[in-house]
Structure 1
Amino acid sequence: MHTVETVLLVLMLGALTGIAARYVRAIPLPLIQIAMGALLSWPQKGLHIAFNPDLFLLLFIPPLLFADGWRIPKREFFALYKPILKLALGLVLFTVIGLGYLIHWMIPEIPLTVAFALAAVVSPTDAVAVSAITRNLGMPAQTMHVLEGESLLNDASGLVALKFAVAATLTGVFSWTDVAKDFMWMALGGLGAGALIGWGFAVARDKVTRSLGDVAATQMVLLLVLLPFAAYILGERIGVSGILAAVAAGITTNFADLSRSDFVSERLQTEGTWAMVESAFNGAIFLMLGLQLPSIIGETLQEAGRHWWVLAGYALAISLALLALRWIWLTLGVQGSLWRAHREGKMAEKPSYLLTLATTLAGIRGAVTLAGALSVPLLLNNHHPFPSRDLLVFLATGTILLTLVIGSVGLPLVLRRLPPPGEPASAREERHARLAACQAAIAGMALDKEQAAAADPQWLAQYQESAGRLTQEYRRRIDLLEDPSTPATPEAHAEAPEVVRQRQQRYVVELQLRLKALHIERNTLYAERHAHRINDESLRNVVAELDLADIALRKRLAVAQRTVAAHDRPAAAANTPADDAE
């Protein structure tokens, strides 16, 4: 099959499996995609793709990590930098040493340096896999920020550790001083190169769009999609971490976007484009993993000369040891930083053994682990085969699958036992920001005495009439944004919980009614188009406005429904003993 046909088939299957996952919610999407890829390549005449790790890293990893760096909340990222760095750097070193010795002890035929290479391969967590598994499971927000930050940064530390473990196997020489120097150069150089190219793009984009406006939005979005590839290639060419360069470019671009509030068209196109890119590339990564799976298993069973259950047992032991080391490091090395962040108000959720267990199970491995394993050279410097390479690739692949399965099964069970979070802090902040914007808009419409005295009477009357209508609309929006759990007057502080609950339910009903009205408006507009009373351009413009309002209302409704459910849950728990007694 030609490369173009293969790429098109993988993208199509990624979209189809994404649709299928909506119907099979019990199975996470990555597992569905891996299984689909394995089924396609398992038969003798199945789909077989030659896997080039360097090409894989270049095509799929930079845009996904750029998007994660672009989307991750920067305030929380920098506020929680201590636990993130302890996980991204300290945990990787702890895993490489501890797991490396364990692998060498468990499988003596694997040399110690190769065991360290395998430990380095499986040490980085995968941002794509973690997001795919935990997206809809209710992972506490700040904990999710820590996991995302860890996944963004530990790729570099894991790949640097792999580089030196492979070098030690090839040459028999190892130096901690060289490791430290090279790591600092690769990490800091990668971050600096990515920040530089992101800043350069931001400056150039600002100059172009300030003179042309939103007419160049499509071209700027295309250049933005190409930016992570440029950052990655530049980083690799100068000998630093291309992965960190892509992450830093995403973070820098996000900071530059904060001063571009006027460019609405560009912003909407950017959001839509990145949503499509992330969905397509996420699916392609896990499908590629599934396509490689049968050949990896077959080659390993043939070369190793062992029964499959022995090799599966090794993979299970490594996966469990990996999670055990992660739990130990979280408990002994990171817990203190999390408690300090909680006391300082940087982390809303209180550290607990359940939260530590959830963070442990979220240590899922993915695409970077596979690419790192397949990047191990085939031959030593003396042209002899690299020792236990096929076994290394098999065990790394088994670790990916097992951590995905363990996380998919264990995370819902653990997260279900965590206390209900109530309204997320980000949703509360968003509501307050909307309130402030509405109040500022009302205040901005008022004319001072000098302006009113100097104005034309006819214009002034028209202005005041329009301002009155707009003020009423903003007042209605403020009423909608008011926190339904907060009493409207000081005398209402003694209201019974049932009264508060009824007010919340009325709020949910009002939001649902507004959504129904928007739906009717939208259907009416399409009916007008079918009757040829408006054209396609008019339809798109008006429906786009309704769609934006629909998205905002649906977000508010989801938060309101979670708040009502959180209030209902303690009441249901309180009634349980009485019900049991009956």
Structure 2
Amino acid sequence: MDSIEIVLAMLLAVVASAYLVRVLPLSLPLPLVQIGLGAVIAGFTGHGVQMDPALFFLLFLPPLLFLDGWRIPKNGLFRDKAIILELALGLVIFTVVGAGFLIHWLIPAMPLPVAFALAAIISPTDPVAVSSIAARAPVPKRLMHILEGESLLNDASGLVCFRFAVAAAMTGAFSLTGASLTFVWLVAGGIGAGVLTTLAITWAQRWLFRHFGEPAGSPILVNMLMPFGAYLAAEHLQASGILAAVAAGITMSYVELSGQVMANTRIQRSAVWDTVQFALNGVMFVLLGEQLPDIMEGARVSLSQSGHVNAWWLVLYAFAISFGLMALRFVWVWTALRITLYRRTLRGEQVTKPPLRVLLAMSLAGVRGAITLAGVMTLPLALPDGTPFPARDLTIFLASTVILISLVAASIGLPRLLGGLQLPAEPAEQQEEDLARREAASAAIAAIERAQVELMHKDDTCDMYPEAAGRVIALYQRRLDTTGSADGEEAERYRKLDQAERMLRLAAMQAERRAIFGLARQEHISDETSRKLVREIDLVEARHKL
């Protein structure tokens, strides 16, 4: 198959996976279905797609990490920043050291630097896989935010450790000072490049819009190119392009608070980004599945590199490394939790010990994904003296099997661990929503009153403005009554009433659309008129569904 046909087949596989995951009798996570379809494509074509790791990092990671950084709740990210940094930095180093020695002990034929390289590349978790599995498991919101924050930041630390482990295997030397300074620059330079790129592009875009207007589609296209600009700028400075993409997304979330983007642009941009995210996420795992035939072929070479004859030793190594990763993760999380609770107790704070099931879920949720596979593919083919890189095929095979085992273990274990788990509610979210609704309604009423006066001055012959203003103000007054009631039962009653009204409005709008489409089919109105009216209804419906 030609390259274009393979790309089209991969996109069709992504579409098919969304339906297969709904109709399959087993509750399989979407990534596993996509990996399976990728393996089918590779078997049909006779070979997998030759994945260029540098091209993979450039095409897939910047937009996905940018979007994750943009959409992750910032209050949760900064509230749990200490826990997230412990997982994204401390846990990675702890995993590299612990798993590195474990791998070298299991497979003495694998040199220690190569064992550390394998441990480093399997240490980062994959945000795409975690989110996909969490969609089918009742993961608490706060735990999910911690996992998302960890997966956004630990890629850089894991890849840095991988880079230095490979350098040690190539040269036989390692400098802790040099590694530390390089890590500081990678982090600082990557974050700085991401923040400055977003601010510079945003400023330039606003200047152009003020002087020359806003062309249709231009803001969306600029927004989609922003993560690539941040990534390339950081890589040019030899900093972390991954952190640059994440920092650019977080900065974009603050830029959005200015409210200078038109509502229509926001609606269209959200739809475009949702489509891009769905396609890229799916293609990543389909591409991973397409590597499986070559990886299985490399298992034959891996067997001789491990020093054994029986192929079951490879399976044993893969499971031992996977469970070792889970055990290391559990030890780190348990220890960090104990230290955190002890510190809060010393400060006189009231602490609540989370259930053991939550700690076990944290251990299982460390799912590896396409970033691990792309990183391990960058292993050199040969050492500087021309000899083959030691245990390269074995390292790639073990990293790939760890990815699959972690996906299967999380998809089976998380729903069973968290099913029926009762956690204390967090009323802060409802309070914040009520506050925002009250403030927005008050501001809307004040704006309506000002607009009513201005319109009456402009057109003093029309006496309909007071009536119209009264009808609109009544809607916002209902919202104030709903969110500002002191009586909890009364507030709950108003919320149910508001929900019932919203459902009736949605039903009415569906009927409106059917009537408009019927008129267009009967040629009573033009297609242009029907598209305009339906779009207006869609925008109102989108507002009511929020």
- TM-score above 0.5: yes
Q: Is the 8 A contact 1:17 1:29 kept in 2?
A: yes
Question: Quick one: structure 1 residues 539 and 63, their matched pair in 2 at CA, closer, same or farther if it must change by over 3 Å?
Answer: same
Structure 1 residue 548, shift from structure 2 partner: 3.7
Q: Which amino acid aligns with 1:14?
A: V
Q: Is the 8 A contact 1:338 1:351 kept in 2?
A: no
Structure 1 residue 233, shift from structure 2 partner: 1.7
Partner of 1:304: 303
Provide, for residues 290-348 of structure 1, a one-character-per-residue CA deviation record: whole Å limited to 9, x for no partner: 0001210121224424433221111111111101111111110245448979999x999
* Structure-1 separation of matches of 2:343 and 2:154: 23
Partner of 2:17: 17
- 1:138-153 equivalences under 5 Å are 138-153=138-153
- 1:51-130 equivalences under 5 Å are 51-130=51-130
- 1:384-423 equivalences under 5 Å are 384-419=387-422
Structure 1 residue 350, shift from structure 2 partner: 6.5
Say yes or no: does 1:469 pair with 2:460: no
- 1:373-384 equivalences under 5 Å are 373-384=376-387
Q: Is the 8 A contact 1:361 1:411 kept in 2?
A: yes
Structure 1 residue 211, shift from structure 2 partner: 3.7
- 1:203-222 equivalences under 5 Å are 203-213=203-213, 215-222=214-221
Greater shift in the superposed pair: 461-470 or 61-70:
461-470
Structure 1 residue 471, shift from structure 2 partner: 1.9
Q: Is the 8 A contact 1:141 1:424 kept in 2?
A: no
Q: 1:532 aligns with which of 513, 516, 523?
A: 523
Q: Is the 8 A contact 2:67 2:249 kept in 1?
A: yes
* Structure-1 separation of matches of 2:366 and 2:297: 27
- 1:440-451 equivalences under 5 Å are 440-446=443-449
* Structure-1 separation of matches of 2:343 and 2:464: 57
Partner of 1:559: none
Question: Quick one: structure 1 residues 469 and 540, their matched pair in 2 at CA, closer, same or farther if it must change by over 3 Å?
Answer: same
Say yes or no: does 1:295 pair with 2:294: yes
Greater shift in the superposed pair: 73-82 or 473-482:
473-482
Q: Which amino acid aligns with 1:92?
A: V
Q: Is the 8 A contact 2:191 2:244 kept in 1?
A: yes
Say yes or no: does 1:519 pair with 2:510: yes
Say yes or no: does 1:38 pair with 2:39: yes
Provide, for residues 367-390 of structure 1, a one-character-per-residue CA deviation record: whole Å limited to 9, x for no partner: 110011111111011111111111
Provide, for residues 107-143 of structure 1, a one-character-per-residue CA deviation record: whole Å limited to 9, x for no partner: 1111111110000010000111111111343322222
Greater shift in the superposed pair: 526-535 or 179-188:
526-535
Question: Quick one: structure 1 residues 238 and 374, their matched pair in 2 at CA, closer, same or farther if it must change by over 3 Å?
Answer: same
Greater shift in the superposed pair: 428-437 or 80-89:
428-437
* Structure-1 separation of matches of 2:367 and 2:106: 23
RMSD: 3.1
Provide, for residues 549-573 of structure 1, a one-character-per-residue CA deviation record: whole Å limited to 9, x for no partner: 4345445xxxxxxxxxxxxxxxxxx
Question: Quick one: structure 1 residues 553 and 288, their matched pair in 2 at CA, closer, same or farther if it must change by over 3 Å?
Answer: same
Q: Which amino acid aligns with 2:538?
A: D
- 1:450-489 equivalences under 5 Å are 455=457, 458-459=460-461, 461-476=463-478, 486-488=488-490
Provide, for residues 49-101 of structure 1, a one-character-per-residue CA deviation record: whole Å limited to 9, x for no partner: 11111111111111111111111122221222111111110000000000100
Greater shift in the superposed pair: 45-54 or 503-512:
503-512
Where 2:489 maps in the other structure, the secondary structure is coil
Partner of 1:372: 375
* Structure-1 separation of matches of 2:352 and 2:211: 46
Structure 1 residue 484, shift from structure 2 partner: 12
Where 1:461 maps in the other structure, the secondary structure is coil
Partner of 1:327: 330
Structure 1 residue 47, shift from structure 2 partner: 4.4
Structure 1 residue 418, shift from structure 2 partner: 1.8
The TM-score, its normalising length taken from structure 1, stands at 0.85
Q: Is the 8 A contact 1:80 1:341 kept in 2?
A: no
Structure 1 residue 393, shift from structure 2 partner: 0.5
Structure 1 residue 509, shift from structure 2 partner: 4.9
* Structure-2 separation of matches of 1:341 and 1:549: 47
| Overall identity of the aligned pairs, in % | 43
* Structure-2 separation of matches of 1:268 and 1:194: 25
Structure 1 residue 4, shift from structure 2 partner: 2.4
- 1:341-352 equivalences under 5 Å are 351-352=354-355
Provide, for residues 265-297 of structure 1, a one-character-per-residue CA deviation record: whole Å limited to 9, x for no partner: 221221111101100000100000000012101
Where 2:215 maps in the other structure, the secondary structure is helix
Greater shift in the superposed pair: 329-338 or 99-108:
329-338
Moved over 6 A (4+): 338-344, 346-350, 479-485, 502-507
Q: Is the 8 A contact 1:49 1:292 kept in 2?
A: yes
Q: Which amino acid aligns with 1:106?
A: L
Q: Which amino acid aligns with 1:441?
A: A
Structure 1 residue 241, shift from structure 2 partner: 0.8
Question: Quick one: structure 1 residues 335 and 272, their matched pair in 2 at CA, closer, same or farther if it must change by over 3 Å?
Answer: farther
Structure 1 residue 167, shift from structure 2 partner: 0.6
Partner of 2:195: 195
Provide, for residues 229-252 of structure 1, a one-character-per-residue CA deviation record: whole Å limited to 9, x for no partner: 222122222211111111111112
Q: Is the 8 A contact 1:124 1:365 kept in 2?
A: yes
Partner of 1:133: 133
* Count of residues in correspondence between the two structures: 539
Say yes or no: does 1:235 pair with 2:226: no
Where 2:109 maps in the other structure, the secondary structure is coil
Q: 2:535 aligns with which of 535, 540, 544?
A: 544
Provide, for residues 370-425 of structure 1, a one-character-per-residue CA deviation record: whole Å limited to 9, x for no partner: 01111111101111111111110011001100110111111111221321666875
Provide, for residues 424-444 of structure 1, a one-character-per-residue CA deviation record: whole Å limited to 9, x for no partner: 754553344233312321233
Q: Which amino acid aligns with 1:430?
A: E
Q: Which amino acid aligns with 2:468?
A: S
Provide, for residues 465-523 of structure 1, a one-character-per-residue CA deviation record: whole Å limited to 9, x for no partner: 2111212333455567789992228xxxxxxxxxx7x9887766554433322322222
Greater shift in the superposed pair: 260-269 or 163-172:
260-269
Provide, for residues 12-48 of structure 1, a one-character-per-residue CA deviation record: whole Å limited to 9, x for no partner: 22122123223347111100000111122136x5342
Partner of 1:182: 182
Q: Which amino acid aligns with 1:33?
A: Q
Partner of 1:578: none
Q: Which runs of 5+ in 1 are unaligned?
A: 490-499, 556-582
Greater shift in the superposed pair: 100-109 or 518-527:
518-527
Q: Which amino acid aligns with 2:360?
A: L
* Structure-1 separation of matches of 2:179 and 2:482: 58
Greater shift in the superposed pair: 513-522 or 119-128:
513-522
* Structure-1 separation of matches of 2:464 and 2:246: 52
* Structure-2 separation of matches of 1:432 and 1:348: 27
* Structure-2 separation of matches of 1:446 and 1:541: 29
Where 1:216 maps in the other structure, the secondary structure is coil
Structure 1 residue 209, shift from structure 2 partner: 2.4
Q: Which runs of 5+ in 2 are unaligned?
A: none
Where 2:284 maps in the other structure, the secondary structure is helix
* Structure-1 separation of matches of 2:545 and 2:171: 60
Provide, for residues 164-211 of structure 1, a one-character-per-residue CA deviation record: whole Å limited to 9, x for no partner: 100111111011111111111111111111111111111111112234
Question: Quick one: structure 1 residues 416 and 339, their matched pair in 2 at CA, closer, same or farther if it must change by over 3 Å?
Answer: farther
Where 2:217 maps in the other structure, the secondary structure is helix
Where 1:446 maps in the other structure, the secondary structure is helix
Partner of 1:157: 157
